[in-house]
Structure 1
Amino acid sequence: MKLYWKCFVILLIVVLMSGCLYPDERRVENSIPYSDQLQSVESAVLQYRQDSGVLPIKTRDSDTPIFRKYPVDFSRLVPRYLQSAPGNSFESGGVFQYVLVHPEEVPQVKVIDLVMVREIQEFQRRIQEYRRVNSYAPVAEFVGDELLKLDHEALNYEDAPSVKSPFHPTHRLPLLMETNGNIVIDYSIDIQFFIEEFGMGEYVEGDDLRWLLVDNSPFVPVYSVPQTMKEGQIVFKQR
């Protein structure tokens, strides 16, 4: 009988430890865009289009920014084309939204980092609260065509507001605001890194170099505006 209880206690400890570890392991797994998951969704998207003649995407307004315009609609793919939405997708409790790029050509599946999106929403909330109290935004200076740098101290930030880059593990990307109030991420350091890492490829000065990020990464640069190379510097394109 003593042996029975000893075995029972050991088994109980193992089960409890497994239960404690699993959520952390799941969080790690759901925070990485695995290539096989992207590939399986892409295959399902292409098969769906072949069978139906349309893409399995959610409807968005025509003026929706290009990198958020074509979110994958997993309700059309599951269970016929996919057993379930990927574990790291928003639909399954993960931190990524799956989207399509090049929908009119050969669609490719990429992801949006929703953790970064939530940080931007918090930044917007602070701006809105400041404007509610003061009737204007805390503008520090103009930094480009219709782009503003905000006074971070007025918004109760210790440093200039930024978000963690999905394209590089140590980069933080500055947040700016358009004159219409939209938030913009400055991807200059990521673009410069990708040029140094992969070269310009088919791109030349004047081209929208955000697509260099898309070509060489599973992510898309959301909350962005066109950026290009001019005289060796990454700049915002004139609109």
Structure 2
Amino acid sequence: MTGTLLGLLLLGTTLSGCLYPGEQKQTAVNYRESVKRIQAAVDDYQQEEGLLPILNADEDTPKYEKFRIDLDKLNKKGYLDELPATAFEKGGSAYFLILDEETNPVVKVMDLVTFQKVNDVQRQINRYKSAHGGNLPAAEELYPGLYTIDTDKAGTGSITLTSVYSGQPLEFIMDKDGVVYVDYIFDIMTVVNKNENGQDMSKDLRLLLEHSSYFVPVKSLPYLWLNSQPVPQPQS
């Protein structure tokens, strides 16, 4: 493992920069009850209505943003007595999604703080790219085809990200086209180290996060196990 990657895994929990709306309370919110209530409502709705209560999404919408649950429909049809305080529709900082929609629909949480911060970094990258003839504010090639961001050039130094899984700071990375993602290597390695046996390391390693938490790894790339570590795979 490179020195940079090792450094990422050893970072502490102290963060600088501004606090986004909902970020502080999110760490204290237990999503267990919200997920349980919505899962029961989704199961009942599917059994009685014959379909899932999801909002329309484009074909190209990423997996961890795609099948958003229509909470208002569940509420108005009596499957959900009230919307959870954790939901965006109620002023919270989460969307609720359905994964494995065709086989075993399961309710998961999409963190909107993470989503918004990536979008904020993306805007800065786009501005830099536009003003510099298509060049990117890249610091170093962290993985093949993926780069860390020179925060001074991009003007993103105040945007920091705390993991919903571990509470550790995470890095923003971008591909050769300047598309921004979150690097979840620390969180994936944490799950791997906790469960060294019985894990299928041949598939997309984001499944480990998906199965070990209520949260989905939003704004992420697929990870493969290469050279004894998770390596994100650029899509372009």
TM-score range, shorter chain: 0.7 to 0.9
1:215-226 pair list within 5 angstroms: 215-226=211-222
1:193 maps to what in 2? 190
Match of residue 42, structure 1, among 39, 42, 46: 39
Name the amino acid aligned to 2:101: P
The answer on whether the counterparts of 1:141 and 1:148 sit within 8 Å (CA) in structure 2 is yes
Size of the aligned set, in residue pairs, is 210
1:209 and 2:205 aligned? yes
Match of residue 65, structure 1, among 62, 67, 81: 62
SS of the residue corresponding to residue 29 of structure 2 reads: coil
C-alpha displacement of 1:43? 0.7
1:90 maps to what in 2? 88
Higher Cα radius of gyration: 1
* Structure 2 alignment gaps of length 5 or more: 1-23
Counterpart CA distance in 2 for 1:220 and 1:126 is 25
C-alpha displacement of 1:173? 1.3
Counterpart CA distance in 1 for 2:71 and 2:191 is 31
Counterpart CA distance in 1 for 2:230 and 2:27 is 33
Identity over aligned residues, as a percent? 30
TM-score normalized by the length of structure 1: 0.80
C-alpha displacement of 1:130? 1.6
Name the amino acid aligned to 1:193: T
Counterpart CA distance in 1 for 2:112 and 2:132 is 30
SS of the residue corresponding to residue 72 of structure 1 reads: coil
Name the amino acid aligned to 2:45: Y
* Structure 1 alignment gaps of length 5 or more: 1-26
The answer on whether the counterparts of 2:108 and 2:216 sit within 8 Å (CA) in structure 1 is yes
Larger helix percent: 1
1:166 maps to what in 2? 164
1:181 maps to what in 2? 178
SS of the residue corresponding to residue 153 of structure 1 reads: helix
The 1:98–1:31 alpha-carbon spacing in structure 2 relative to 1, beyond 3 Å, is farther
* CA deviation profile, 1:146-194 (whole Å, cap 9, x unmatched): 42333222123459x652111002x111111123332111111100001
Match of residue 48, structure 2, among 48, 51, 63: 51
TM-score normalized by the length of structure 2: 0.81
C-alpha displacement of 1:210? 0.4
1:150 maps to what in 2? 149
The answer on whether the counterparts of 1:30 and 1:89 sit within 8 Å (CA) in structure 2 is no
